[in-house]
Structure 1
């Protein structure tokens, strides 16, 4: 019987040891000592999506807009014909100049005939050299009149070509303030082209002007996701109590120009305790971390702040110098 009791006691100890080993926490992989780190203080402002360059496509002559081939949102290239103007007076001017050229041609034929007869009379001794020179001058005058009229005709034809409205640059059509059939004055804008890419323009309260740094990284909310941007330019002039700044964003949505996006701008520094997210344990809606103490290890409840990559801010529950166990 004694032997049986001894065997039972041994089996009970082995089973209890196995249960304790199963319930024991996993072996500790390491620990970190908390120390304050500097984090940026973010100021939330709104920025507008704007084109780097905005150029109007203007009419070079006056007339009636007979065709318009673009609308808002279309992409165009520099030199592309986006509309055509027609001025009926140009056709009438060309017709009038053609008639003048025919009349001058007839005058030139007559002047050359007179010059030929004068040369014949001079050879016979009937006419004088002075008379021949006068006839030659008259023929030269008619030739010059023909050259001037032809040049004037080329000018009118070039004006007709200028009825084509050209896109001034590559980009997106932002506005088209006119319609087909409208009467257009010289220099009037047919469309506005936004080119050179897009950027965000911010207007930040002037009290933060001294805290802004060119080249600083920003956070931009682009809808469902967020993107990083760079503060590329600070304008020295303050307008309406605000500093104007430009932000370059790689993944900037450009479907809508002048769309407003939320931007978080760093306007200062603060001290915070950061901890790897993997060191946290959540139970019953609370967050715990394991801390090394002189008596061993213990769990502490903590209140969490913002997540920054793989680390998270600890608002309360820990202090600088605490050793936190990490997996």
Structure 2
């Protein structure tokens, strides 16, 4: 990645001046390619000993389908109620429509590709869009189910059928039967979309053996954006702390050489090489991975980006802004 500052003097000015005098464009570009990645979420975790667990609403809605009462025994992952209402119905309809539209676009691109009227890059992009839309729909559907993250008994209900709930509002308190469970805090948009039953690893800080644990539910969200999750396992020692590591399903990402990225005024750019010539395109990069950086938005598989002297080419149009030193 290249960082340039507008008020830089001699080095950048000399490069820009040389470029303006020679009129020679930098050469060397690469094709953006897609690859499969399996991201890993990790965060601080601690083993809890039978602490009461509060089940909350993850989004605004109306409480429906309550299946428990105080004293009812519940199992990990058991649905105790559902969220409905016009807001959720509208959000689900919109997400379903977006997923249907993405699938239709994918089918159209695949048909055109079969007739040699489309490219593999266009099909790959349509497939990625369809997968993302499907994931958003599944995540939204999951938040409509209020589930117990642990085995135990319903100690109390904070709301009844028909109650209008806000995101983060308590619905029920579960008193665990016995044994310990892991409380973990994870960050990132994927953390809130994890489904009960997802496998993870609890890594004790004191060097004890790594334990396999299973996600039982989302407890709440912290003010800093952290998602608090509950996991259960076979051999857990109350009070033990460590890290929780969770591998996400593989997904397609676009990678470019990090040197192709130029930072200007707080925004990232690449120089796209196509039939129109070389021109700047704004992108949103992810975290660099060695010499490669994933691109979240702004490019498609098959695009070509300039690598050699990308910053010089990007700044050729502002050479007049730089003055030679006295």
TM over 0.5: no
TM-score (norm 1): 0.34
Bigger Rg over Cα: 1
More helix by percentage: 1
TM-score normalised per structure 2:
0.34
Point out the structure with the larger strand share: 1
